[in-house]
Structure formats: structure tokens, C-alpha cells
Amino acid sequence: MENLSAFAYLIAAVCFIMSLRGLSSPDTARRGNMFGIAGMVIAIVTTLAMPNVLSYELIIAGILIGGAIGTGIALKIQMTALPQLVAAFHSLVGLAAVFVAGAAFYAPEAYGIGEAGNIGAASLIEMSLGTAIGAITFTGSIVAFGKLQGIFRSAPVTFAGQHMLNAALGGLLVLLVIWMCVDQSATLFWAIVLLSLAIGFLLIIPIGGADMPVVVSMLNSYSGWAACGIGFTLANTALIITGALVGASGAILSYIMCKGMNRSIINVILGGFGADAGAGPAAGAGGEDDRPVKAGSADDAAFLMENASSVIIVPGYGMAVAQAQHALREMGDLLKEAGVKVRYAIHPVAGRMPGHMNVLLAEANVPYDDVLELEEINRDFAQTDIAFVIGANDVTNPAAKTDPASPIFGMPILDVEKAGQVLFIKRSMASGYAGVQNELFFRDNTMMLFGDAKHVVEDIVKSME
């Protein structure tokens, strides 16, 4: 039975690897999801078939309750709320790791890792690391959820000596883990849990809204490593492999996004790329601005685009909020029929989670070949007649290149200001999620189209028809 379960777990692991490979491209994402589902079914069935299962009733009850909650959320959740949903689910993974570690600590005999007060050193190290990472993931994900949901303000929360405090708490955590491996005290176990919960909170609060997509990706990595650590404690091959895959893939994605934003991966891990502690208001911060802007109508936009030879559409979170992707695809189709070259430019952190815009455009059946990443299309803006920006604020802000005092300084942006004409859909002149006023609004070649993104695009489509 042991050899059979190991073989089944190996098959599940292969399915998970194929799932990650499939999810790396929009063309194969659906197939990747199917591999992931198949791998999880195999892992669950294999675990239930193990001879050391004590209560099928409790397991089935847990599956039914969790499945019902998950199904209800999946049916009701809006696409715009996916980032905070992902963050919330990450918190549950971290909390589960803490619970499993607690169960293993108080009843080690059930897990074959020794007796209470006499747990093997290797198991204690694995358990402590899984507990610490899980608790950090839990509170960090809760803070990320709150910022994305608007419960907490999106601006960085900083105070003097913040980094020194985080470093001191991190050092204390290491000492507690070492001490617990020697003493095996329940007091030390819960001290590790409480200290890790505090560290998770302190790591995420100094990170601003513009950087939240990277945070979500990094928390995904943390949740994977927490599961991996607990997998070693349980001697569960599937959990070890799955956790390592999630942890490694999340870390790689975070690294890629950090390169795309000109950020340091070390600073992400340490929660250090928010605003500097004690800094005053950033230059260019959002607020009232009495500079004049050029405003236009849907008819103006339709006329300009129909007479252009090339249009690059830049979607952002405003498109997601308005659910304007279907109307946008219809507008793109009409422009193509008129002989206009239409492409879509995606910034790595457009929206509030990695791939947010890609998912929305795929939902509207926008051809994959028309959707290009920043590094593929940025050089083309200078030769483009019109850049059509729909709710993408911070990722198009020239202040990221020109204002060293700006919180987004150094972040690569889409060079839409180099296009012949910029059409910018926005509800108002309010600043973006990072709290920074967009200098693009006041450029001579920018025309603002004020209103709900979906309604504005629908009016443009009517004008074209």
C-alpha cells in the first residue's frame, strides 16, 4: 500500500507540474487548470485510502463544508474582486499550516515524529519553520486583503525605526526557534506563533498600493513554503512537492515582477519597498489640482480612432471595475474592420494581481496575439497614432521616470505619452491607487474622456456604428 500511495502521489505531482506549465500561456491555461484539478483529485483520493485515517466522517464533513463555501464564493465573486480573494485564500493556507503544526506538537505520536516533550530535532525544525512562515502568511495576507478591499488605506504605513524593529523581531524569531528545538516548551511554540503574526503584519503595512500585485505573488510563495514545511513534518510527499512548486513558482513570478518594476526582491521579502519611514508627503501626491486639462467626448474619440492607422489600447483596473472588456473588444473589432491596427499593451502590475488584465481580456475573447507585454510593445508607442488608456493610472504616469520624490519613481511604465494622441478614460481627476497624481493628464497630446469606462466605450462604439 505504501508503494502504491507513493506512486499515486508521484502522478499527482506530475499533474501539478503540467498544470504550472499550462498556466504559463493563455493558449494552454484551460488545459493547465484541468491538470491541476486531476492532480488534486488523485492526491485527495490517495490520502483517503491510507490505512491510518481515523475518521472519514470528519474528513467528509470538512470537504462538504469547505466545498460549499468555495462554490458559493466562486459563483458570487466578481472579476474585480479576484485579487483580494486570492489574498484571503493565501491567509487560510497559512492558518492551516499553523493548525497542523499545533496538532503535531501536541500529539506527535499520531504523526510518528516522537512523543510529547521528546520530538525529533529535524521534525521540530520543520514544524517551527512551517509555523512561522504560515503565521506570517496569515497576517500578511489579511493586511493585503484589507488594502485591496479598501478596508485599510492603500498608502504605505511607516514609522521611525520600522526596519530596525522588523530586523530585531526577525532575530528574536530565529532565537525562539532554536530555543524551542532544545526546550520543546508549549510556551515557546505559542511565542513563535504570536511573534510571527506580528511580523507578518509589520512586513506588509509599509507597502503601498501600487506594489500590491508583487505582494500577492510573494504571499503566494510564502503559503507554498509553509505547506512544504508542514509536509516534511507529516512525511507527506504530495504536500512537500506541491508546497515546493507553489513556493518556487511564486518566488520566480515575484522576481520577474520586481525586475519589471525595478524593485529589489530582497526588499519585497523584507517588506521594505514602501515609502521611507518619516518621509513627508510625496511630490506629485494626489489631491486638488487646478491645472487645465483637455476634455473630449465619445464622438471625438471615435472620429480620431477611425482616422488613425494604429491604436494601442492600455487596460487597467478601471476597466475591471466597470466590466468594460466586452465593449472594448467590440470597439477593437470595429476599428480592425476599418483597417486600423489594434493591439493591447499590458503592464506587469496592471490591475491588482499578476495577469489580472490578461484574464479579463481572455474572458472577452480578445485574440491572444493582439495582447502584448510591456517589453514587447513599449518601443512602438512613439510610432503609434493613438494610445487609448482605459483606467490604467499609475502604470502610465511619467512621474515614475521624472520625479525622484514620487513613491512610484523607478517603476517602468508604458510610454503612452510618446503616442501622437492619448485618449484617457477616467471617472474624475482623482489620483490612482498609489495616491499619486498622473502628470499625463496635463500633457498637450492628452484628451480626457470623463465617465464610467463601460459607458464611454459603448458610446464610442455607437458613434462608430
Residue 307, C-alpha cell as written in the block: 482616422
Rounded CA gap, 398 and 258, in Å?
A: 19
User: Catalytic amino acids?
Assistant: 394
The per-residue DSSP string of 304-345 comes to HHHT-SEEEEEE-HHHHHHT-HHHHHHHHHHHHHTT-EEEEE
Distance of CA 69 to the CA centre of its chain: 22
Residue 123, C-alpha cell as written in the block: 521534525
Pairing of strands 386-390, 421-426: parallel
Tell me the residue type at 304: L
Rounded CA gap, 184 and 150, in Å?
A: 41
Strand partners, 390: 315, 425
Indicate the helix (H) or strand (E) that contains 91. helix 82-106
Q: How far is CA 454 from CA 131, 429, 457, in A?
A: 45, 18, 5
Rounded CA gap, 14 and 18, in Å?
A: 6
Burial 364-374 (b: 16+ CB within 10 A, else e): bebbeeebbeb
DSSP 423: E
Contact, 148 vs 87, CB < 8 A? yes
Rounded CA gap, 406 and 408, in Å?
A: 5
| DSSP helix/strand/coil, 294 | coil
DSSP H helices, 161-205, are 162-183, 186-204
Q: Which of 122, 99, 131, 121 is nearest to 183 (CA)?
A: 121
Contact, 141 vs 219, CB < 8 A? yes
